[in-house]
Amino acid sequence: MQKLLVTGGAGFIGSNFVHYVLENTDHQVIVLDKLTYAGNVESLTGLPGDRFRLVEGDICDAGVVDRLVAEADVVVHYAAESHNDNSLHDPRPFLDTNIIGTYTLIEAARKQNKRFHHISTDEVYGDLELDDPERFTEETPYNPSSPYSSTKAGSDLLVRAWVRSFGLQATISNCSNNYGPYQHVEKFIPRQITNVIDGIRPKLYGKGENVRDWIHANDHSSAVLAIIDKGRIGETYLIGADGEKNNKDVVELILKHMGQGPDAYDHVVDRPGHDMRYAIDSTKLREELGWEPRFHNFDAGIEDTIAWYRNNEDWWRPQKAATEAKYKEQGQ
């Protein structure tokens, strides 16, 4: 049994990881979360009180971080400002959380000689052309496009430098786009699902040709556990489930499962600097650590995700009106 400190564990991917760990291992979990708009305590209800606790706090607060790192065996760093649209509107919080917050955590882990795993994104690699047969690998040069992806790239490089310069016992994972329960309604898939529930036509940026490599949050969680357990210190592992879909196809799939016509959506102004295609090659993770995704069927995964949002309106309803008002101001 280990004790894991999970930063950002009340957010989308972090809360799914916490649920997965507590359901599939005997580990204990401490969550450190600032509980900004993207963190939701309701995402952590029903967890066993003898193995879980939530601490509200900022990863930039060295006093809080040092105390909690001292309690843990492993630090799993999910906490991040992560929404591209928000980073284009106000980049500063992304610098504070993604750069200074990561620095504060790795310094605590270094001083206390604790195992550290850093969660990152495929967006640090920039994008690929739609007709490019290549996919991102661990050797792909960084080429971030937005304030979000550039600050995540910076946090990755900090971790790498602390491994080399100070012997930090760290690994890094860069994952493709996640979907599943507990995702904020500002994000692409839950926004379209909740719009249809509310009788609002889904919104598609530009022509909808942008391709994302989708992975269910549970598959991401199982991969992170595999890296923590068996990954080589100092290594980066890419996490993906061969789930490339363009945004237009995803919207039309959601509409099909929700009983709507395939063209029952509106095109809106595209995001500035919108990356065209992400694609992950997870060969290293699969061959070296023996990991495989369980959710191979994206169609079934979307159907399950729609059912979750239908059945958990109390969870997402408080966020919805303010989110749509913000998008309306931006013409999206």
**Spatial CA neighbour of 191 closest among 298, 324, 308, 81:** 324
Burial of 48 (C-beta count, 10 Å sphere; 0-12/13-18/19+)? exposed
122 is catalytic: yes
78 is catalytic: no
In angstroms, the Cα distances linking 57 to 66, 72, 76, 133 are 12, 16, 16, 44
**Spatial CA neighbour of 241 closest among 211, 210, 220:** 220
In angstroms, the Cα distances linking 180 to 60, 62, 130 are 28, 32, 25
148 is catalytic: yes
CB 211 within 8 A of CB 245: yes
Residue length, the chain?
A: 332
Residue type, 273: G
Instruction: Report CA Rg, the chain.
Output: 19
Sign of CA dihedral 20, 213, 250, 14: positive
In angstroms, the Cα distances linking 300 to 98, 179, 303, 306, 308 are 33, 12, 5, 10, 12
Of the residues 33, 58, 107, 122, only one is catalytic, namely 122
Written in H, E and C, the secondary structure of 223-285 is: HHHHHHHHCCCCCEEEECCCCEEEHHHHHHHHHHHCCCCCCCCEEECCCCCCCCECCECCHHH
Residue that the structure tokens 């790498």 belong to? 160
Of the residues 78, 125, 148, 237, only one is catalytic, namely 148
Of the residues 123, 156, 252, 324, only one is catalytic, namely 123
Rounded to a whole number of angstroms, the distance between the first and last alpha carbons of the chain is: 47
Catalytic residues, by residue number, are: 122-123, 148
